[in-house]
Amino acid sequence: MELSVVHWFASGILIISLILSRILFVLPFFRLNESHKQDEQNIPDETIRKKIESLTNNKPLNAFIFLGSGGHTGEMLRLLQNFNEILLKSGAILHIGYSDDQSYQKFQNLVKGKKDINVQYYHFVKAREVNAGLLQSLISITKTLITSLIHIITIKYKMINKPHLVLLNGPGTCCIIALWFKIIDILLFFTSSNIIYVESLARINTLSMTGKILYLFADQFVVQWEELIQVAPRAKYFGILV
């Protein structure tokens, strides 16, 4: 009986140790990171292109892109236009998350005529409406947690063993999206999400609330003003991207 207890205790310790080790490995915040001061900073476009191209190895790119509505959507669309030869190149498979019909329509206009791109759309409930009360916020956050989990499991399954990345820049919903991706990464030992978060151009001296949270989850955390390196030392600065 005592041996059985010891056996289960040892097994429990081993499982917990493996899970903790996996968490430390998956969450980029706990990894050793190279200095943000890079010789390539003066050529931001080439640097970003090289990083994305290193994921694809000349194979079709699978990308999840979230359109955060309003100004967030505008910045994301400009980012896609600036790097269209990589993100929108022939054969790309794009998983587009959106929370409002206007963002959905704007993206459709962007890729109109690009028949060689496979686009799949996923509607996400907003995590929180502006000026929403506590109860309303709790209800919307719960809906977002459930619906986003279903979407992320579907997207993650389609991305496994294929060149892929997750590109985020938006509101609070991005935090929930990144959280689910990382939880799945922790549970599945053979996958990673390659999350790239680009902080808003409007943020010069302080990070947004979403940015403060995504700083812990994003594999590449990119800021567009060098001043932000002072408050986010792990961030990368390649100049203005949008």
Question: What is the number of domains present in the chain?
Answer: 1
Residue ranges of the chain with per-residue pLDDT less than 70: 1-11, 19, 22, 24-26, 29-58, 127-133
17 within domain boundaries = no
> Is 23 part of any domain?
no
* 100: in domain: yes
b/e string for 5-14 if b means 16 or more Cβ within 10 A?
eeeeeeeeee
Helix (H) or strand (E) holding 64: strand 62-67
Q: What's the predicted TM-score (pTM) here?
A: 0.82
Which of 70, 212, 176, 73 lies closest to 130, judged by CA? 70
Can you give the pLDDT at residue 223? 94
Give the up-direction half-sphere exposure of residue 175: CA atoms within 13 A in the CB hemisphere: 15
Q: Which domain holds residue 174?
A: 33-237
Q: Give a yes or no: residue 132 inside a domain.
A: yes
| Domain membership flag for residue 181 | yes
